[in-house]
Structure 1
């Protein structure tokens, strides 16, 4: 089992500015969060060709619930959270999840 934070970004006012800021500023801020074991992100596309509800989704993985909780209250996570106002003009939806492999 792992624990993750999912960050779902709404369509930004300026996608090119979002992409530039996200890759050059926000990713380095987020990678500094203590306890982070994996960090993925990608732009969303719908299966049926319609506009997806999110522009991009990021996943921050932690080994266990304790690591997730510690990471969430860290100064590094606060810095990443404050940075959202600099590029996430389409809004942000976040949630945590305990993931289980179902192979």
Structure 2
């Protein structure tokens, strides 16, 4: 298994970020081909380290993740970031350890 973690920086307008994320961005993400699982949550206030929210997109392999993000739905999802994540985001590719 392979995960993409998206770490969103603290937005200036949290209400606007939340509204766009739930009403527009999540439906775009759910259209990604080969996506096995999608979860997200807010970082607890005590542990933010500058981050506001984290999303995890799970794929069978890195190749599936790359193909998914290169798809039309992947390009639309990435293009949407400028509409709500002006503070920036970090994407981490994480192969799961201990799995064959």
Normalised to the residue count of structure 1, the TM-score between the two structures is: 0.88
Residue in structure 1 matched with residue 25 of structure 2 by the alignment:
26
- Partner residue in 1 for 2:37: 38
- Checking the alignment, whether the CA contact within 8 Å between 1:6 and 1:94 is kept in structure 2 is yes
Q: How does 1:1-103 map to 2 (within 5 A)?
A: 2-45=1-44, 49=46, 51-100=48-97
Q: Per-residue deviation at 1:67?
A: 1.2
Q: Which has the higher helix share?
A: 2
Give 3-state SS (helix, strand or coil) of 1:36's partner.
coil
Instruction: Give a deviation string over 1:3-49, Cα, whole Å, max 9, x none.
Output: 01110000001000000000000000011010000001000015xx3
Structure 2 residues not aligned, in runs of 5+: none
Stretches of 4+ aligned residues off by more than 6 angstroms: none
Check conservation: 1:44, 1:52, Cα contact below 8 A: no
Provide the alpha-carbon RMSD of the alignment: 1.6
Distance 1:77 1:53 in 2: 26
Q: Normalising by structure 2, what TM-score?
A: 0.91
